């Protein structure tokens, strides 16, 4: 399995040194020395793991971590810095960082941490592949589209299925809203969880609001 790593450090010599420490045959490693460069590459190419320096010339690693997670939410993030504090580590972990490494630590610590992260990612991918395989063999309906208009609808559905946004599907009775809702669920990161269809017409109006939005006031 090939892994794609992205090292982000404003010191070129440090970034090259980290690359030498982590380079193996099954890893393709790229380097960025500025936040804008890193964001551009993240939009253009897939990466499994990001190593971010906490102190960058034009921004900081925490701010960049937030921006990168919007582009690559499923990637693994590790913060590296010469100025390690518990506060920074806690802040990074709260934002979903896998770990926090100080630059002055033994290179073996960095190798071990990155390998542990990639092992975690490999296991996660294997589980997802197993779930996807099992799911594809289920009897859930699929949508086969020929018309340009319907293909465009499915392209939009694919795009929004990857987000956590609430999606409202409208249309006349019999146009396939429920089928499209199942399609979106199947394409989303939540595909392994149950899809529950609710017939709102069968629920009294005074109960529908509670059913959809909960029972607590405010």
Of the candidates 9, 67, 65, 54, the one whose C-alpha atom is nearest the C-alpha of residue 33 is 9
Cα–Cα distance for residue pair 43/32, rounded to 1 Å: 13
Tokens standing for residue 94: 């709260």
Percent over 70 (pLDDT), the chain: 89
Confidence grade of residue 75 (pLDDT, cut at 50, 70, 90)? very high
Cα–Cα distance for residue pair 92/77, rounded to 1 Å: 9
Cα–Cα distance for residue pair 28/45, rounded to 1 Å: 12
CB neighbours of residue 73 within 10 Å: 12
**Fold annotation for 3-133:** Rossmann fold (3.40.50)
CATH 3.40.50.300 in the chain is located at 148-213
Cα–Cα distance for residue pair 33/38, rounded to 1 Å: 8
Residues 6+ apart with CB under 8 A from 93: 100
At residue 111, the pLDDT reads 93
At residue 139, the pLDDT reads 46
Average pLDDT, the chain: 84
CATH 3.40.50.2300 in the chain is located at 3-133
pTM: 0.59
For 148-213, CATH number? 3.40.50.300
């Amino acid at each position: 399995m090939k892994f794609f790593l992205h090292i982000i450090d404003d010191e070129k010599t440090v970034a090259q040194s980290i690359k030498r420490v982590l380079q193996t045959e099954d890893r393709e490693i790229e380097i960025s020395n500025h936040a804008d460069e890193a964001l551009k590459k993240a939009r253009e190419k897939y990466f499994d793991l990001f190593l971010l320096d906490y102190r960058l010339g034009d921004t900081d690693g925490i701010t960049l971590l937030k921006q990168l997670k919007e582009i690559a939410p499923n990637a693994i993030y590790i913060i590296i810095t010469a100025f390690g504090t518990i506060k920074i580590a806690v802040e990074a972990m709260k934002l979903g960082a896998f770990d926090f490494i100080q630059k002055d630590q033994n290179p073996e610590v960095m190798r071990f941490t990155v390998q542990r992260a990639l092992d975690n990612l490999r296991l996660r991918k294997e589980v997802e592949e197993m779930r996807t395989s099992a799911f594809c063999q289920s009897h859930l309906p699929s949508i086969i589209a020929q018309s340009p208009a319907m293909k465009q609808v499915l392209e939009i559905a694919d795009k929004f299925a990857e987000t956590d946004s609430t999606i409202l599907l409208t249309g006349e009775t019999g146009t396939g809203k429920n089928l499209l809702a199942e399609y979106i669920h199947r394409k989303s990161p939540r595909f392994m969880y149950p899809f529950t269809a609710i017939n709102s017409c069968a629920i009294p109006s005074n109960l529908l609001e509670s059913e959809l939005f909960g029972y607590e006031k405010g």
